[in-house]
Structure 1
Amino acid sequence: MVYALALLCRRKAGLTPAEFKTHFETEHVLLIKRLTGEFFPQSHQRFYIQRGSAEPHAAQMFVGDETEYDAICIMTWADESVAQKYFARVQEPHVLKQVMDDDAAFVERASTKIVALEDLRVTSG
């Protein structure tokens, strides 16, 4: 059974949404893929919150107040055991240091959330 997680993260103070997205796409994902190898998710989708180009880079909200997040990532693996191997790899000291050093360049790590997903339902038009 496919195992999926959602990661919610916020850009580091002082970065524009474009700088955050560029770093995520051209540096971070490639680093994680290289470091985790065969345990990298079979799918790693990244959705970026639509924001204005001028300070304060307000989110395009339809309902609710401003969101603190800048990206929502959906990661999927063949099953939970492969995801556990991915996270075990990320926790290896030499890997964790590289991930944390890179995170420090573009993401507010303290605000990051990772939540397990279940029971995908799709309704098409």
Structure 2
Amino acid sequence: MVFVVLITVWRKPGMSPEAFYDHYENVHMPLIRRLAGDKIPISHNRLYVTREGPDLKERMVQEAECGEGISYDAVAELIFEDEAHNLAYWQTLYAPETNGALTEDEYKFMDRSKLRIVAIKNKELMIRNDFFPGKDDVNKYGFLPHGKFN
């Protein structure tokens, strides 16, 4: 059974959302890939909170709840093969031989004092009835993870 971790991330005070996104994707993620090596999660999905746009609230069903009171800037979902894989990943990232490289980078773009990491008990995926894994073209539902479905 997979092991899922959810992380909420706040950007460093004074940093723009664009700079936060750019650093996370173009500096932090390559660093994680390099440090983690073969311990990398099955997937590392990052979701960024949208706060701007003239029609943002009009696109939501309940516009009063559209991001109001949300203080974090990103949510990351990491999926591991199992709990042992999860533990090996974190031990690799923060091993003494990395010389604190990951932590040092985190302070460059996130408010690390607010960082929250939590294990998720169950992960359930709802897929529309007209989607058939392995039969449908991957472009039909590009947002879905294609390949192995359990």
TM-score by length of 2: 0.73
* Equivalent residues of 1:17, 1:51 under 8 A apart: no
Q: Which protein is bigger by CA-based radius of gyration?
A: 2
In structure 2, what is the equivalent of residue 31 of structure 1?
A: 31
* Equivalent residues of 1:5, 1:114 under 8 A apart: yes
Displacement of 1:69 in angstroms is: 0.4
Secondary structure in structure 2 of the residue aligned to 1:73: strand
Secondary structure in structure 1 of the residue aligned to 2:100: helix
In structure 1, what is the equivalent of residue 98 of structure 2?
A: 95
Secondary structure in structure 2 of the residue aligned to 1:121: coil
Structure 1 residues without counterparts, runs of 5 or longer: 54-59
Letter in 2 for 1:21: Y
Displacement of 1:62 in angstroms is: 4.5
Pairing 1:1-125 to 2, within 5 Å after superposition: 1-52=1-52, 62-63=64-65, 65-95=68-98, 97-125=100-128
Task: Count matched residues.
Answer: 119
Displacement of 1:87 in angstroms is: 1.0
Displacement of 1:65 in angstroms is: 3.7
User: CA 1:94 to 1:25, structure 2 compared with 1: closer, same or farther past 3 Å?
Assistant: same
User: CA 1:104 to 1:70, structure 2 compared with 1: closer, same or farther past 3 Å?
Assistant: same
Q: Give the CA RMSD over aligned residues.
A: 1.9
Structure 2 residues without counterparts, runs of 5 or longer: 54-59, 129-150
The alignment-based identity, stated in percent, is 29
